[in-house]
Amino acid sequence: MNKKIIGLIVGVLLLFGQGRVAFAEENFDYNRAYEDYIFTLEQYRQAHSEYLLARAQYMQSGTLTAQTKARDATVAMLETRDDVIATYLTALRMRLNEAPGIDPALRDGLSARLDVDVNWFLNHKSGIHSAGTLEDLISDSNQAKDYFELTRNLNYEVLQVISMGKVANLREQVIEPFTKLKIKVAEFSANNGFNSQVVDRWIIETDYKLTRSQEKYASALSLLASLQNPKEKDKYSVYNNALFRLQESLQYLDEANQFVQEILRGVKRKA
Amino acid sequence: MSNIDLKPDQSTAPQTTQAGMPPPQIPGAVPVPPPMTKRKLRLPKISFGNKRKLVTILGISFGVLVLLLILAAFISNRSRNNNQEIIPTPTSEETTDIDNGGLEEAEMSEYAKDPDVIEIGKELDELEKKFDEVKIREEALSVPLLDFEVSFK
């Protein structure tokens, strides 16, 4: 009888607990992930300051007490550093998942690669030699440093894909009303005797802007391949270059949108 | 020096006789309670023999507590959702009239009132706002600057 009641209580608690976990998972979005990242970043800054102080004291005095303090501070710093990277990558993945205009296959591939890196840093954190020597900790730090070089490249890749998604999404939104307007102009011209001579010329101008925008977009896309190339050393420059071209692509899109508005005004205005 | 009388007050002295007998009842006087004696306090006996009953009561109480917690979580979640719905966001349809692109009624062509043309106008207005808001660079997610140069030399 007692066992049955205890079993019942445990069952209810487990059910309740699972519900709460599921509820929490449902609410985990980019904003939540970003908050986590900012929180751990603050913790890292604190731990890093303490590490610098403990290191300076050890370098000055060289005592065993100072060495122990330096070791403890280094362990704390290394652990929070791994946390920062893991939460940053998680926030990046959530942003990637919520960003518009990204090809689902590309999104899934990048998400999977981000997950691998998150796991690497979480595993690295649990393997830090908290009872080891200072040399062990330097070795732990160098492992993370080497891996972070690879992760950084992936970060730029993801950031560029998110930016490209924004441009692609806006491009679709410009093309849609523009296409509708072109159809309406053709319809008015055929059925209602609308003189479309001027408007037709404006449509060609708008198409040109869209083509220029697409060229700049393609140029940015080619730089994405450079980011994936391991021989490319300066990923940050490549990323910045790609953003510059995307900005140009966006500028052409904006101009195309203004042209479409002008065409619409031309249709609305009496000849 | 002083004329204060230090003799004990007769009216407040204990009222017992020399033989230890209770004092005689004087009409109108406050009755003196009998002296306290130690008595055994008799409480009703609770039988702990039936453990099954006790466990059942505890189990039911715990179950009720858990149900209350679930109910509280459900209500708080629902009220949170309700709060979010309190402030309605005005949509463009409610706040903006039909945009004539700065044209006077007399300047407008017969095509200006075409429903598709009006719809395209609305789409373009919305799009204009998006162009104003969009930022290509993800400033908030710049790669963090971390110290990887750990050394003690």
Question: pLDDT tens-digit profile of B77-110?
Answer: 776 655 554 555 544 444 444 456 566 776 788 8
CA–CA gap between residue A46 and residue A50 (Å, rounded): 6
What one-letter code names the amino acid at A269? R
Highest mean pLDDT of the ranges A191-195, B106-110, B142-146 = B142-146
CA–CA gap between residue B143 and residue A268 (Å, rounded): 49
| Cβ–Cβ gap B112/A145 under 8 Å | no
Helix (H) or strand (E) holding B134: none
Residue range A31-84, pLDDT digits in tens: 999 999 999 999 999 999 999 999 999 999 999 999 999 999 999 999 999 999
Which residues 6+ apart lie within 8 Å of A267 measured at CB?
A: A181, A184, A185, A188, A194, A199, B109, B111, B112, B117
ipTM: 0.80
- pLDDT reading at B13 higher than 50: no
Length of chain B: 153
* Three-state SS at A212: helix
- pLDDT reading at B33 higher than 90: no
Residue range A208-252, pLDDT digits in tens: 999 999 999 999 999 998 888 888 888 999 999 999 999 999 999
Nearest to B124 among A5, A163, A261 (CB): A261
Chain B residues touching A81 at Cβ < 8 A: 146-147
Only one residue has tokens 């009220």, namely B79
Helix (H) or strand (E) holding A235: helix A235-268
Query: A56 to chain B: nearest residue by CA?
Result: B152
Q: Does B134 touch chain A (CB under 8 A)?
A: yes
Q: When comparing pLDDT for A131 and A81, which is higher?
A: A81
Q: Distance (Å) from the C-alpha of residue A56 to the closest C-alpha of chain B?
A: 9
Chain A residues touching B70 at Cβ < 8 A: 16, 19
Chain A residues touching B116 at Cβ < 8 A: 180, 184
Distances (CA, A) of A109 to A88, A113, A123: 18, 6, 22
Cα B93-B96-B101 angle, rounded to 5 deg: 120
Q: What are phi and psi of A183, to 5 degrees?
A: -65, -40
Tell the burial category of A183 from Cβ atoms under 10 Å away from its Cβ (0-12, 13-18, 19+).
Answer: exposed
Mean pLDDT of A187-196: 82
Q: Distance (Å) from the C-alpha of residue B74 to the closest C-alpha of chain A?
A: 10
pLDDT of residue B109: 82
pTM here is 0.69
From the candidates B141, B145, B153, which should be mutated to test the interface with A, based on the most A CB atoms within 10 A? B141
Chain B residues touching A250 at Cβ < 8 A: 131, 134, 136
